[in-house]
Amino acid sequence: MEEFIGWLGGQGVRQSEVMTLSMDLYIKWLVVRACEEEGEEPEIEMPQIPASTQPRCLGCGQWMPRKIAVPLHPSCARLYFQRQAA
């Protein structure tokens, strides 16, 4: 379960949102992980995780206010655009 929660965090799901996800997602994740461990191709597809209602900064990944036009801290803008140009 700890590994699943860590995976969800990597997908952008907040801790407070974990319990709102369907149990079906966890079961499918378990099947996919078991297939990976055995070196088999999973026969199921992971469903899309609902998009987080709160955006993350495009530069640093920190949470931003919900009502923001462009999710980018002013201090992260230069770094973000440098990475995009590269």
- Indicate the burial class of 11 (C-beta count within 10 angstroms; 0-12, 13-18, 19 or more): exposed
Query: Does residue 12 surpass a pLDDT of 90?
Result: no
pLDDT for the residue numbered 35: 92
Residues whose CB falls within 8 Å of the CB of residue 62, separated by 6 or more in sequence, listed in order = 56, 73
pLDDT digits (tens, 9 = 90+) for 15-70: 878 888 888 999 999 999 999 999 998 888 887 777 656 788 988 989 888 778 88
The whole-angstrom separation of Cα 1 and Cα 22 is 14
pLDDT for the residue numbered 27: 92
Q: Which helix (H) or strand (E) holds 21?
A: none
pLDDT digits (tens, 9 = 90+) for 55-86: 889 889 898 887 788 889 999 988 888 888 87
pLDDT for the residue numbered 52: 59
Structure tokens at 3: 């590994």
Q: Up-side HSE of residue 86: CA atoms within 13 Å toward CB?
A: 6
